Structure 1
Amino acid sequence: MLSDVRILGSSRRAQAALHARVDPLTRQRLAETQDPARWREILSTACFTPPLPLLLAGIELPDGSYSPDTPLAQGVPYASAAQQMAQDHVADIPSGFELAVGLEIDDGVPSFLAWFRPLQSVGSRSETADAAPPAPVGQPAAAVAQWFSVVSAQPLPEHDGRLATARQAADAYMHRSKAENTLRTYRAAVRSWCRWAAGHALPALPARSEDVAAYLADMALQGRRTSTIDLHRAALRYLHHLAQIAVPTAHPMVTATLAGIRREAKETLPRQKTALTWDRLVRVVEAISSHDLVGARDRAILLLGFAGAFRRSELAALKVDDITVDEDGMQIRLGRSKGDPQRKGTLIGIPRGLTRNCPVLAYETWLRQAGITEGPVFRRIWSARDRRAGATPVGAPPRIGPHALSDRAVTDIIRRRCGDTHLEGDFGGHSLRRGAITTGAKDGYDLLELKRFSRHKSLQVVETYIDAACIKARHPGRSRF
């Protein structure tokens, strides 16, 4: 953001000069306010036509006079570009000073002006010393991307009774309203926006509605999926929400641009992962030995994942304390789930079976062989290998790590085990969940029972999990054709 807006001479001439040089949106915003204090915020994202010169203010001489201003650049259209050019031209900043950039309107002639201003002295600990850094409004795009990465991953502070700490905690809890995977994708999207804005010399924060529309249209021209474009729009909305400034993504121009992108999109329906139905799952687990640690773990992952219609993240997060086993089967308390953002908890029951492919038996076998009594259920296993010779020392047991597998590791296990049995299809982390629902549909369970089993919020979502083969098998006209 501009550090200052200075008016030298008539304020009426200054206002007329600005209205003649800025873009229509900025002109409208200036007309809507009578508060000159808001000019700094509004003009920080203005596009000036023709562009303005950038000057470095003269310094005070020993006799009290000032040296003349030094021209740094001509034709600078934005404040963010002026800040970047000023930083590039000024290699060494005097100790105890920082470089500031403002807008000066001298007798109706506007220009960007850079100068050195003293840093604020560091005294006792301020009330907001530990608070999140302020939003870099009007600053270079790189600073915006860095700020968003910092504030979206802000840790919870220790309680000390201070107001500043309470406010910092409020910010941190606010960021935790989004799932970590969502924040990770938002950070990537904001970095992409900042690179694009910097490449076109556009302000990154606040983003202007016409620039956001152009950015989304540029993504569409590159052939990006509409779901990806929607994600980038949501990330920009969240960026401005965190900065506590007006959100440009709700502007009718952006909405209409997205509507046109969707209408012109030539996308095929998203390809779903292949369902690992019970018949396929039996082929996979029968090929896995339960007499070694890795085999026992992978059998338990596959059978338990199917029996509970678990998401891969839910499987990876299971802990021993979450599971109760008795002679009838097992009860699992799911404390965190994508379908339970309020974390109210969900109880899942899995009956004990009669075959060697019983999920409860596979779970008990894995815990017994691994010697796990607490903590994460599914963990990484390292083989005790001699790195130099590549041989396994005789009698050296594998080592079980203390931390839970990642959700990506669960996906890798599913793919690798399906590949070992040469199953055809595109298998992944969702194949177990899809396969369990599809098998239930083939066995005659109705949508309400499947919805209860899969813990989905709507019947419409459950229907999307049922494979085409199951839909054809239960077609009402099958017995009439």
Structure 2
Amino acid sequence: MCQYQHNITTYNDDISELPEGLAGKMGLVASLVSECRSTSTVKGYYSSFMRWKKWAIQNSIQECLPARSLHVAIYLSCLVQQSKSPSPVIQAFYGIKWAHSVISVKSPTDSDLVKNVLEGAKRRLSHSVQKKEPITPDLIDKMYDATFQEGNLYNQRTICACLLSYSGFLRVSELLSLKICDISFFTTHMSIFIEKSKTDIYRDGNWLVISRTGTKLCPVMNLEKLFSYANLEFSDTYLFRNLT
């Protein structure tokens, strides 16, 4: 919340005119505004803005917030000289944009000059992307044949992690957050409760249903084997954890 309190000081004159009872509500305003985006996003924006502010002060620029478009354009241009990818420039652009949106003032990032500098930075610093080959059923099959050993808990854990990620389209963070109590087995399928996901911004949670396939690569059957090998019982223990 401190990131927003830093920017809300822009309203000091307005706050000073408020009745004491209302002025005390500014902490609540800052708290709610801080929750409009994820914590990691806010931290990233704030860090980017503070780097801009530090640069501005070092170069005797007093107008950091609100900032002038020419100053921001020069700042982004300097970042281009120091960077090997467009990421630092893009982060700076959106960090400055965020800071201005918090205090509801026109952002220099709306300027065509700044936008064109950003686009130029992307073109100059971008590199061709080496796309990774997708996982195929054939690769999964070869992984299984090379890994599976009856009763081997360590190998079975690896197999289940791969099969669940593949069949359920799970991100690593979602996979590692799974708890034993999140999984329910049925005769035709299993249900997995995904407590939080990158696409679930309000943290409502979602149920993932994976059917039995009747093959050696069946995610349900293999997960049941993992439960059997590890003697897992219903609990809030993480499914994929260190084995001791």
CA distance in 1 between counterparts of 2:23 and 2:156 reads 51
Sort the Cα spacing of 1:261 and 1:175 in 2 relative to 1 into closer, same or farther, 3 A: same
Residue 361 of structure 1 deviates from its aligned partner by 2.2
CA distance in 2 between counterparts of 1:188 and 1:312 reads 26
Three-state SS of the structure 2 residue aligned to 1:330 is: strand
1:235 partnered with 2:107: no
Residue 210 of structure 1 deviates from its aligned partner by 1.6
Q: CA RMSD in A?
A: 3.4
**Are the aligned partners of 1:289 and 1:296 in contact in 2 as well (CA < 8 Å)?**
yes
Residue 302 of structure 1 deviates from its aligned partner by 0.9
1:196 partnered with 2:74: no
Sort the Cα spacing of 1:240 and 1:300 in 2 relative to 1 into closer, same or farther, 3 A: same
CA distance in 2 between counterparts of 1:301 and 1:163 reads 52
CA distance in 1 between counterparts of 2:199 and 2:48 reads 24
Deviation string 1:316-367 (CA, Å, 9 cap, x unpaired) is 2333444332010112343432233344554432111323332112322333
**Are the aligned partners of 1:137 and 1:206 in contact in 2 as well (CA < 8 Å)?**
no
**Are the aligned partners of 2:156 and 2:222 in contact in 1 as well (CA < 8 Å)?**
yes
After the TM superposition, which parts of structure 1 deviate over 6 Å for at least 4 consecutive aligned residues? 162-166
CA distance in 2 between counterparts of 1:299 and 1:164 reads 57
1:280 partnered with 2:154: no
Indicate the residue corresponding to 2:121 in structure 1. 261
CA distance in 1 between counterparts of 2:32 and 2:231 reads 37
Could you tell me which amino acid in structure 1 is paired with residue 185 of structure 2?
V
Identify, as 1 or 2, the structure richer in helix. Answer: 2
**Are the aligned partners of 2:189 and 2:212 in contact in 1 as well (CA < 8 Å)?**
yes
Residue 198 of structure 1 deviates from its aligned partner by 3.9
Gaps of 5+ in 2: 11-20
Three-state SS of the structure 2 residue aligned to 1:201 is: coil
1:381 partnered with 2:219: no
**Are the aligned partners of 1:217 and 1:257 in contact in 2 as well (CA < 8 Å)?**
yes
Normalising by structure 2, what TM-score?
A: 0.74
Indicate the residue corresponding to 2:16 in structure 1. none
Indicate the residue corresponding to 1:182 in structure 2. 41
CA distance in 1 between counterparts of 2:99 and 2:233 reads 43
Residue 190 of structure 1 deviates from its aligned partner by 3.2
CA distance in 1 between counterparts of 2:33 and 2:181 reads 29
Sort the Cα spacing of 1:253 and 1:311 in 2 relative to 1 into closer, same or farther, 3 A: same
Deviation string 1:248-305 (CA, Å, 9 cap, x unpaired) is 222233123224434x436333333332222222323333356344433322211100
Sort the Cα spacing of 1:234 and 1:256 in 2 relative to 1 into closer, same or farther, 3 A: same
**Are the aligned partners of 1:209 and 1:249 in contact in 2 as well (CA < 8 Å)?**
yes
**Are the aligned partners of 1:241 and 1:247 in contact in 2 as well (CA < 8 Å)?**
yes
Normalising by structure 1, what TM-score?
A: 0.41
Which shows bigger deviation, 322-331 or 267-276?
267-276
CA distance in 2 between counterparts of 1:230 and 1:370 reads 49
2:130 to 254, 261, 271: 271
Structure with larger RCO (C-alpha < 8 A, sep 6+): 2
1:326 partnered with 2:190: no
**Are the aligned partners of 1:294 and 1:381 in contact in 2 as well (CA < 8 Å)?**
no
Which shows bigger deviation, 265-274 or 300-309?
265-274
Sort the Cα spacing of 1:360 and 1:243 in 2 relative to 1 into closer, same or farther, 3 A: same
**Are the aligned partners of 1:136 and 1:205 in contact in 2 as well (CA < 8 Å)?**
no
CA distance in 1 between counterparts of 2:32 and 2:118 reads 31
Sort the Cα spacing of 1:169 and 1:219 in 2 relative to 1 into closer, same or farther, 3 A: same
Could you tell me which amino acid in structure 2 is paired with residue 337 of structure 1?
S
CA distance in 2 between counterparts of 1:191 and 1:282 reads 50
Matches within 5 A, 1:104-253: 133-135=5-7, 167-203=26-62, 204-253=64-113
**Are the aligned partners of 2:8 and 2:102 in contact in 1 as well (CA < 8 Å)?**
no
CA distance in 2 between counterparts of 1:163 and 1:363 reads 56
How many residues are aligned here? Answer: 229
Residue 169 of structure 1 deviates from its aligned partner by 4.3
Residue 179 of structure 1 deviates from its aligned partner by 2.7
Indicate the residue corresponding to 1:311 in structure 2. 171
CA distance in 2 between counterparts of 1:180 and 1:321 reads 27
